[in-house]
A and B are shown apart, each in its own frame.
Chain A
Amino acid sequence: MLSARTRNSFSSSAPSTDALLSARLDVPDDAGALYARSLEEGWGDGLPVLPPTEDAVRALVAATPYAPDDLICILPPRMGNATVEKAAVNAAMAGVEPDAFPLVIAALEAITMPEFNLSALAATTSSVFPMIIVNGPSRHRLGIDCSHGCMGGGGGRGSMTIGRAVALALRNVGGQRVGETSKSVFGQPARAGGLCFAEWEEESPWPSLAVQRGFATDDEVVTVHGGKGTHAMADIHVDDARELLELVAKSMAFPLGNKFLTPTADTGEVVLAINPVWAQRFGVAFPDVDDLRSFLLGTAWQPIELWPQGNREILERQGRVDDRGRVHLCARPEQFVTVVCGGRGSLHAVALPSWGESAIQSVAVAR
């Protein structure tokens, strides 16, 4: 939508307007009163919001090559039109800086690609939510956490506002409401504050995630993943990199993960966030990241005996059990998506488990 429109946005066939079309609301010039009203009227997410004034919204729109009425995407579950203006209003509430707003737009484009399956994600009983991974030169400038405390607690403005802006847009433009249009039994922190982090590319022994996905080194790229939460792992005892990675693989293949609910192992990816110290160790054992992924594919499985009889029958019927009685988490190496990030404290890794019926998408940021 937007990419097609953008190319034509200055042509006579696609006239655009600078007018901001959103309804105006008069609110007391008081932070507490604004917060209270956002809760009363349901357009807040439970956290305090900044006032999306016309000046604030115009500053965000001006940081893009688009007009306010350019359509970014249509957001499920209620199929609301996410124009650049509406995205900017929600981004202003979240505190997004103008320089970071193009990343919000890219994220919205990415989550509405058909293979991401947002209609299902937005309505499911699962806790799954779009998680945002950033590559490229603006990571540090925008305060997108890639080192200590990334994924929550790092406190970078980009991390804390970009994902939240996307979550607010899903609420206010997509009409996602827990208990109504969204049947999520449990939520996760990403559903409120968003989850947005960057790859610490400088610390990686491998090409960045964006480069692995076909972009250039200096491209600014937003990648979205339908993740169910953050699954933390830790080890202080294993010296051998292969043995450690096998434990990581086994931890990712936990038996009640969604990847064992899907009819095949062929859908969905698992993101593995590797701290820089472990990344260096793995990089020595696996100089080519494709080899590391193949190793994960070969070791991320559980024996069929682990499941009760009823589950076994279903897994067998679905052809999920190989001739050695193993049920593999994934069917292809590329379903293991590695990102180097986190502090240098070693000993930790995080998996972002897949919802299953959703494919990771990447979009280059347009400025």
Chain B
Amino acid sequence: MGRDSTVTVVQILDPRVTFDDDEVAPTFDVGGPLTGVVVGLRLDHAWRSYIAVVEEWQRLLAADGAIPQVHWTGERVGDAGEQTRADLDEWARLVDCAVVGLGN
């Protein structure tokens, strides 16, 4: 005869949270031509290859009539970090949209 096939089940709590963008991750849409749009491009001294990417994007954006605004991120900690965050806030205020770069 076969063994009892009943499997005991235990209930556990899900360790995960649900992220707002799990189901929807919209691509940003300027909603019109780029002419006159201020496009921010964030850079960091650690991202050497990305510097070349941003240089190319600057050229292409300008060719399409956009106004690229490159912002170099400073240090992250101490008084300099405070200044970096303030500068980023100000930069974000001045641009219409931005590519904020890598997560490094």
A residues in contact (CB < 8 Å) with B: 20, 22-30, 34, 43, 51-54, 57, 77-78, 80-81, 85-86, 89-90, 92-93, 114-115, 117, 119-120, 122-126, 168, 172-173, 175, 181, 183, 261-264, 266-268, 357-359
Given contacts A115-B78, A124-B103, A357-B75, contact A22 B14 (CB under 8 A): yes
Given contacts A27-B12, A43-B15, A183-B103, contact A120 B7 (CB under 8 A): no
In the bound complex, what is the Cα–Cα distance between A206 and B13 (angstroms)?
45
In the bound complex, what is the Cα–Cα distance between A263 and B78 (angstroms)?
13
User: A175 is contacted by which of B10, B11, B19, B77 (Cβ under 8 Å)?
Assistant: B19
B11 touches A53 (CB 8 A): yes
User: B45 is contacted by which of A24, A54, A263 (Cβ under 8 Å)?
Assistant: A263
18 interchain pairs, CB-CB under 8 A: A22-B13, A22-B15, A24-B12, A24-B14, A25-B12, A26-B10, A27-B10, A27-B12, A28-B7, A28-B10, A29-B10, A52-B12, A53-B10, A80-B17, A173-B16, A175-B17, A261-B46, A357-B76
Given contacts A120-B103, A183-B103, A261-B46, contact A25 B14 (CB under 8 A): yes
A90 touches B19 (CB 8 A): no
Q: Is B81 an interface residue (CB 8 A)?
A: yes
- Secondary structure at chain B's binding surface: helix, strand, loop or mixed? loop
A24 touches B13 (CB 8 A): yes
Given contacts A26-B9, A29-B9, contact A359 B15 (CB under 8 A): no
Q: Which residues of A contact B103 (CB under 8 A)?
A: 77, 119-120, 122-124, 181, 183
In the bound complex, what is the Cα–Cα distance between A30 and B12 (angstroms)?
12
Given contacts A78-B19, A120-B76, A268-B77, contact A28 B9 (CB under 8 A): yes
Q: Is B104 an interface residue (CB 8 A)?
A: yes
Q: Which of B11, B15, B77, B78 has the most CB of A within 10 A?
A: B15
Q: Is B8 an interface residue (CB 8 A)?
A: yes
- Secondary structure at chain A's binding surface: helix, strand, loop or mixed? loop
Provide the B49-78 mask, 1 if CB < 8 A to any CB of A, else 0: 000000000000000000000000011111
A20 touches B19 (CB 8 A): no
A27 touches B13 (CB 8 A): no
Given contacts A27-B9, A29-B9, A173-B17, contact A115 B45 (CB under 8 A): no
Q: Which residues of A contact B17 (CB under 8 A)?
A: 80-81, 86, 172-173, 175
Please name 7 further chain A to chain B contacts, defined as beta carbons within 8 Å, in addition to the given A26-B10, A168-B15, sorted by A numbering: A29-B9, A43-B14, A51-B12, A54-B13, A78-B19, A81-B17, A125-B104
